[in-house]
Structure 1
Amino acid sequence: MNRVGAHCYCSVIVPGPWWNPLTYELQSPLPRGSRLKIPVGRGTRFGIADSFFPTPPEKGTFNIRQGKHLSDNSPLLTEKTLDLIKWTGKTFLCGSGEVLKVSVPSSILSFPGPLVDFDSLDGENQQTSGQYEENFLYECKTFSRWKKIVELLEKGDSFIALFPEQALAASFFALLPPAMQKSALLWPSTGGKKLQDAWIAARKGSVPGIVGGPGAVFAPLPGVRSIIVDEESSGAYRTYRHPFLNMRTVAARKALLEKASLTLSGRLPSSRVYLRGKPRCTELPPRENVKLVDLKSSFSSEFQGIAGSLPLSAALFSETARVLSMGKVALWLLDRKGYAGEVACEECGKPILCSSCGRVMAWEEQRRRLRCSSCGKVSPLPETCPSCRGVLLSGKRPGLEALLPVARATAPDEKTVLIWDGTKPCGKKAARGLTKDLSGGGIVLGTRSALTVCDLADVGFAAWVDADSEVRSVAFQAKFTAFSMMWESLWRGNSGGGRTVLLQSRRPGFGWQKGMVLGWDHFWNEELRERKELDLPPFSFLLEIKSPSLGLKESIMAQLEKIGLYPMDPGEPPLVFWVTTPSPASVQNVLAPFFSIGNSSTGFPEITVWID
């Protein structure tokens, strides 16, 4: 507990984008982590007391205002939780205030009345201090791996078990012994009262363990002794909204602060974990289950209104027919939503871009509209080109909707054929309906999100219609993203490793595709050799910086150049640039002035820290 004399000054963390804490005067001492009601601008906000000092900071152009201690009998946050929030804000270059917003429900932070006296409960629920340790558990078969995790949790220590998807967390929770299910808590995936009640229950220590999605990492469970991160290499642990965090990394730091054991598990490790722990791939698929087909020997399917074709192989149709005859499901996977991946002008050649983020927009023919492939914004299909007013618009790169008639012609009339592109959420009712519809087999056309079908139906065949397209992205981790999806398609679900996976490629069996046969350690050895030569993560940190204006973008780039860094400006989107750095700490002092509260009128940059 951090107390000073009767009159003091306090540094307060306030939800918001600025990095600098705000200073307030207090009339009486209070513990670190307590809630405060403070004036900000013309209004008031709620914040968390961080540090204290007996004298005011050096005189500046501001007046120190009075903060009000609420009537709580104990701090809302423990010292360790507050330290985790501050570390996360510094590591991911978003500020403690943004992390506070996602780690504490707003309904609790701004609760008008006194909260529960947590101090009286902490002593009852505090367990013997442990020791930080790292464990690795990589097995391809999900339920075999989960059973080992359950055995680990049955030792009785308090735990937090994280999964990349809420549906996976619920499935794991159902595997727990009945007594453990009764006492543990399945962390809610949405906000509102459910999250508020779960947060309070965890803070009180009234539950021995928590199972949940990535957001459960901030569950304030006191004295946690074991933290498990399953499928730790999944991109779902990276938040898709600001602040951009990697929850796996936050979980590792939490285990270190709590002196708890950290178990990292999954079908394959992330690059940083592989480099650090050197786990080995002990399970390979049967060679006959991996089919690599040369697209040059396939026939091309052309589609009305779309420039370009989509090669389809004989193996695609023969394997589909085989599994349909067995009453199983065939997945046709193409990470390209809509009827065409983009729409471009035949006269000027420019694609139609999203007005919000500047990315290409997919053509949804069934709904006669465009949808951004990045942010999801929907807009009508224009009659003329926005750039040159040309009237000849055509699709490029056939998508899932274009494949639908082909799939329907392939399947018998009684078999279900549908598209799963991730644009609609799949709740429990929808999942049950899908399982019923596919009980006799069928064809599902989908993006990478359609791999969820492997948990709901008997998938006997998964075909990557254009495996090469998955690595055309300029993102440094494109090959890993492609490999991990295709490796997942081999093992996910209840097939027991008996599923056949087909990769249609222009260079079948070359490069990263060798890992599908030789294992993920072979893939990582080759991939890390290339990344080291290029000084890419995990050998450095890659920052993606989005500025609110071109002028501010140029100012930030100039300041980074002064400390010897070399920003990379791709030009599109216009407000985004990239820079590699040895660590986030090396750029904090340079970037901090751009996140001062005084810049609220001009806006703040948004930074994504890519660590692996």
Structure 2
Amino acid sequence: MFAEIILSRRFPKHIGIFDYQIPKVYAKQIKIGQLVTIPFRKSEVEGIIIKIKEQGIAGKNIKEIINITNPDPIIIPNQILLAEWMSRYYFVSLGTIIKMMLPPIPKKIHATKYQYKSAYPPVISSEIKDALNLIKKQQAASTFVQITDHLEKEQFIFGLINKNKGTKLIIVPEINQINKIINIFPKAYQEKIAIIHSQLNKNEFYKTYKLILENKAELIIGTKLGIFAPFQNLKAIIIDHEEDDNHKQSDQNPRFDARTACQQLSKIYKSKLIYLSHSHSVETYAQIKNQEIVNLQSKTAIKRPVSIINMRDERKKRNYSVFSDKLHEEIDKAIANKKKVFLFINKRGSASSVICQDCGNILDCNQCQQPLMYHEKGSLLYCHNCNSKSELPPFCPKCSGPNFKFTGLGTQKIEKEANKFWPKQKIIRIDKDEKEINIPANYNIIIGTSRAIHVLDWDAISLVGIVSADTFLYLPDFRASEKTWHLMHNIAYYSSCPIIIQTYNSEHPAINLFKISDNKNFYKNELEERKSLKYPPFSQLIKLTYQNKDKNECLNETMRLLRILKSSPCEASILTPLIPFQRGQWRMYIILKCELSLKKNLLDNIINTVPDNWIIDRDPVNLL
């Protein structure tokens, strides 16, 4: 008897399954899904049995299994099906996927008790009841549900979980959103909830995994890691904030998108798949148009009083402040009425760059060659790429000139100006520079990046100022408009107060159409533009990344592979990253733009020409 075994370690994409002989002593004990110890090269490693068969590979001296690590199967057949699909789709070895699935097994299991807030069950509106009934009756596997505020979402999730038997899975984009969902449920039901995310320790992760494996959890809430759990009776999958790019793992293999993987998970378990969002991703909108997903549009669009301020007009009036006259006046009113204000900017620091006014030199990082961000506190220059920091020099290192100009906006610059205009008010800042988030109750103005959005008490906010809506619009990325659209909708989703948007691009469709809640024309414009440029959803993209300590070798290898790929059915082009030097290595990208109709075997042939020391990212969310 022989077993096909996947090793729980990362391998090159073409290496996956190994044959091992089953010793007679284990012949009646071996099961699919068991964790076993096997000899591999000069060491002993662990692997998962995925198949038992009579014959091994002919003509090979096949080694024996050493022992059974776990007598009970730790991986179930449906997990293996998902792993096999992900291995094929994302061009990674099976072992890489299995390594993500396997729980770390602790030496001792300790009892863990979680304390959550509990709530009274939300009162479900008639509109949400209608949506829940439609989902229950319809035959469609996938449904998009538009949620216009957090109260609607609480009602929908509570109603859906109560209406459906079996196991339910909710995937959220970030860890800090898990507790918000748990807190929807009364304490008695919270004991039936399992949570999965990357910050659980070994003991917590293993306990959660076993709970799901033994079918003792009715609801699983997790980040993208949640898709790998051993579900026994999965009936419904909910992807919360479907539009959020954090559903994609981009920093390590496997570079997978939980939204795409959930589509396959839904097919494996024959479960309903529900997308929740305040604004569709463009790809999901296209699927709705193609009738692949049922659309349950909210009857009440997100409507907040929105003012668009053209900052070019402010400069013409000689107002050079970061605050327009309108925003300044509204902040004054809010403070006079003892109300709280949130000022949003998606950049940290005091200035985006420091320029020598004598020679035009931009101060950059010695390691990364990226512009340094100026932080006024301590007069420090920070590289937010490699985290290096240095003092602001008294003279330009290029021409020795003493005159520096600080350009661009950041949270610290806004904080400085706010303190100048409202010196008696309590002003706090939340951005990634602050490790501990502790919001005092007596603040008047809060300044923050996107990190602040999920930790604010939005009921206390009476005014939102988006200090610059142009942060994403300036990115050389085909998703720039969409990112801006989602960002503004995300703020409107949480807030119920007036929003003032400052921009130098007041005529841009993403900003203009947001103001009048014209979803239809925004998505129509986006789809038309992407179709003309052959971008997703009208093509599939694969980003290939090469890294090398030597800049010339990096360029030469990229050009070598590009010459090969130019003869393939896919359109291939080189892109230089926004940050070409990172963690001591130079990087170059090749972007493959392939027709949707391209056959799988042809795509596989193309990818087989890519050496194993290249990073393959299918369906990237960022090109640069």
TM-score (norm 1): 0.82
Cross-structure match for 1:319:
330
Q: Which piece of structure 1 moves more, 156-165 or 274-283? A: 274-283
Residue by residue, what CA displacement relative to the aligned partner does 1:230-265 show, whole Å, maximum 9, x if unpaired? 111112212242122211222222122111111111
Once the two structures are superposed, the pairs formed by residues 529-540 of structure 1 within 5 Å of their partners are 529-540=528-539
Q: How many Å apart are 1:314 and its aligned residue?
A: 0.3
Once the two structures are superposed, the pairs formed by residues 310-389 of structure 1 within 5 Å of their partners are 311-344=322-355, 347=359, 349=361, 352-353=364-365, 355=367, 359-373=370-384, 375=385, 377-381=387-391, 383=393
Alpha-carbon separation, structure 2, partners of 1:63 and 1:349 = 65
Evaluate the alpha carbon distance shift between residue 149 and residue 381 of structure 1 in structure 2; reply closer, same or farther with a 3 A threshold: same
Cross-structure match for 1:255:
266
Cross-structure match for 1:3:
none
Alpha-carbon separation, structure 2, partners of 1:379 and 1:78 = 49
Alpha-carbon separation, structure 1, partners of 2:429 and 2:469 = 19
Q: Does 1:590 align with 2:590?
A: no
Q: Which piece of structure 1 moves more, 476-485 or 247-256? A: 247-256
Q: Does 1:143 align with 2:151?
A: yes
Alpha-carbon separation, structure 2, partners of 1:223 and 1:565 = 40
Residue by residue, what CA displacement relative to the aligned partner does 1:463-512 show, whole Å, maximum 9, x if unpaired? 222222321101221111111111111121xx4x3x11111122324422
Q: How many Å apart are 1:86 and its aligned residue?
A: 2.4
Alpha-carbon separation, structure 2, partners of 1:526 and 1:173 = 38
Cross-structure match for 2:45:
45
Which of the numbers 471, 480, 483 marks the counterpart of 1:481?
483
Look up the equivalent residue of 2:416 and give its one-letter code.
Answer: P
Evaluate the alpha carbon distance shift between residue 240 and residue 590 of structure 1 in structure 2; reply closer, same or farther with a 3 A threshold: closer
Q: Does 1:267 align with 2:267?
A: no
Q: Does 1:436 align with 2:438?
A: no
Look up the equivalent residue of 1:267 and give its one-letter code.
Answer: H
Cross-structure match for 1:306:
none
Q: Which piece of structure 1 moves more, 394-403 or 532-541? A: 394-403
Once the two structures are superposed, the pairs formed by residues 188-203 of structure 1 within 5 Å of their partners are 188-192=197-201, 193-203=203-213
Look up the equivalent residue of 1:165 and give its one-letter code.
Answer: E
Q: Which piece of structure 1 moves more, 260-269 or 272-281? A: 272-281
Evaluate the alpha carbon distance shift between residue 578 and residue 214 of structure 1 in structure 2; reply closer, same or farther with a 3 A threshold: same
Cross-structure match for 1:83:
81
For residue 233 of structure 1, give the secondary structure of its aligned residue in structure 2. Answer: coil
Alpha-carbon separation, structure 2, partners of 1:501 and 1:67 = 64
For residue 216 of structure 2, give the secondary structure of its aligned residue in structure 1. Answer: coil
The alignment's C-alpha RMSD in Å is 3.4
Alpha-carbon separation, structure 1, partners of 2:386 and 2:498 = 32
Alpha-carbon separation, structure 1, partners of 2:498 and 2:54 = 69
Look up the equivalent residue of 2:33 and give its one-letter code.
Answer: G
Cross-structure match for 1:122:
none
Q: Does 1:163 align with 2:172?
A: yes
Cross-structure match for 1:97:
95
Alpha-carbon separation, structure 2, partners of 1:525 and 1:76 = 47
Cross-structure match for 1:284:
301
Residue by residue, what CA displacement relative to the aligned partner does 1:424-472 show, whole Å, maximum 9, x if unpaired? 455xxx4xx415243xxx1122222222244466122222222223211
For residue 575 of structure 1, give the secondary structure of its aligned residue in structure 2. Answer: strand
Q: Does 1:557 align with 2:569?
A: no
For residue 87 of structure 1, give the secondary structure of its aligned residue in structure 2. Answer: helix
Alpha-carbon separation, structure 1, partners of 2:32 and 2:394 = 60
Q: How many Å apart are 1:390 and its aligned residue?
A: 6.0
Residue by residue, what CA displacement relative to the aligned partner does 1:342-367 show, whole Å, maximum 9, x if unpaired? 345664635514736x6544222324
Q: Does 1:422 align with 2:420?
A: no
- Identity of aligned pairs, percent? 16
Q: Does 1:491 align with 2:484?
A: no
Residue by residue, what CA displacement relative to the aligned partner does 1:383-425 show, whole Å, maximum 9, x if unpaired? 4999958666654323221222211133351x32122113345
Look up the equivalent residue of 1:196 and give its one-letter code.
Answer: Y
Which of the numbers 15, 24, 40 marks the counterpart of 2:19?
24
Look up the equivalent residue of 1:86 and give its one-letter code.
Answer: E
Alpha-carbon separation, structure 2, partners of 1:370 and 1:64 = 59
Alpha-carbon separation, structure 2, partners of 1:314 and 1:566 = 49
Alpha-carbon separation, structure 1, partners of 2:372 and 2:301 = 38
Once the two structures are superposed, the pairs formed by residues 446-595 of structure 1 within 5 Å of their partners are 446-455=448-457, 458-492=460-494, 495=495, 497=496, 499-516=497-514, 517-549=516-548, 550=554, 551-572=556-577, 573=580, 574-582=587-595, 585=600, 586-592=602-608, 594=610
Evaluate the alpha carbon distance shift between residue 35 and residue 286 of structure 1 in structure 2; reply closer, same or farther with a 3 A threshold: closer
For residue 470 of structure 1, give the secondary structure of its aligned residue in structure 2. Answer: coil
Which of the numbers 2, 8, 24 marks the counterpart of 1:14?
8
Alpha-carbon separation, structure 1, partners of 2:99 and 2:197 = 17
Q: Does 1:152 align with 2:160?
A: yes
Alpha-carbon separation, structure 1, partners of 2:395 and 2:54 = 65
Q: Does 1:610 align with 2:620?
A: yes
Look up the equivalent residue of 2:21 and give its one-letter code.
Answer: L
Alpha-carbon separation, structure 1, partners of 2:317 and 2:91 = 47
For residue 83 of structure 1, give the secondary structure of its aligned residue in structure 2. Answer: helix
Q: How many Å apart are 1:540 and its aligned residue?
A: 1.7
Evaluate the alpha carbon distance shift between residue 542 and residue 390 of structure 1 in structure 2; reply closer, same or farther with a 3 A threshold: farther
Q: How many Å apart are 1:318 and its aligned residue?
A: 1.1
Look up the equivalent residue of 2:520 and give its one-letter code.
Answer: D
Gaps of 5+ in 1: 1-5, 115-129, 304-308, 597-602
Alpha-carbon separation, structure 1, partners of 2:382 and 2:226 = 31
Alpha-carbon separation, structure 2, partners of 1:355 and 1:65 = 48
Alpha-carbon separation, structure 2, partners of 1:259 and 1:216 = 17
Alpha-carbon separation, structure 1, partners of 2:447 and 2:316 = 18
Cross-structure match for 1:398:
409
Alpha-carbon separation, structure 2, partners of 1:321 and 1:366 = 26
For residue 36 of structure 1, give the secondary structure of its aligned residue in structure 2. Answer: strand
Which of the numbers 187, 193, 215 marks the counterpart of 1:178?
187
Q: Which piece of structure 1 moves more, 482-491 or 337-346? A: 337-346
Cross-structure match for 2:124:
none
* 8 A Cα contact 1:12 1:21, kept in partner: yes
Evaluate the alpha carbon distance shift between residue 46 and residue 344 of structure 1 in structure 2; reply closer, same or farther with a 3 A threshold: farther
Evaluate the alpha carbon distance shift between residue 82 and residue 352 of structure 1 in structure 2; reply closer, same or farther with a 3 A threshold: same
For residue 166 of structure 2, give the secondary structure of its aligned residue in structure 1. Answer: coil
Look up the equivalent residue of 2:308 and give its one-letter code.
Answer: L
Alpha-carbon separation, structure 1, partners of 2:39 and 2:287 = 46
* 8 A Cα contact 2:4 2:52, kept in partner: yes
Evaluate the alpha carbon distance shift between residue 559 and residue 104 of structure 1 in structure 2; reply closer, same or farther with a 3 A threshold: farther
Alpha-carbon separation, structure 2, partners of 1:142 and 1:102 = 32
Which of the numbers 257, 264, 281 marks the counterpart of 1:246?
257
Alpha-carbon separation, structure 1, partners of 2:149 and 2:185 = 18
Evaluate the alpha carbon distance shift between residue 41 and residue 316 of structure 1 in structure 2; reply closer, same or farther with a 3 A threshold: farther
Gaps of 5+ in 2: 110-137, 290-294, 549-553, 581-586
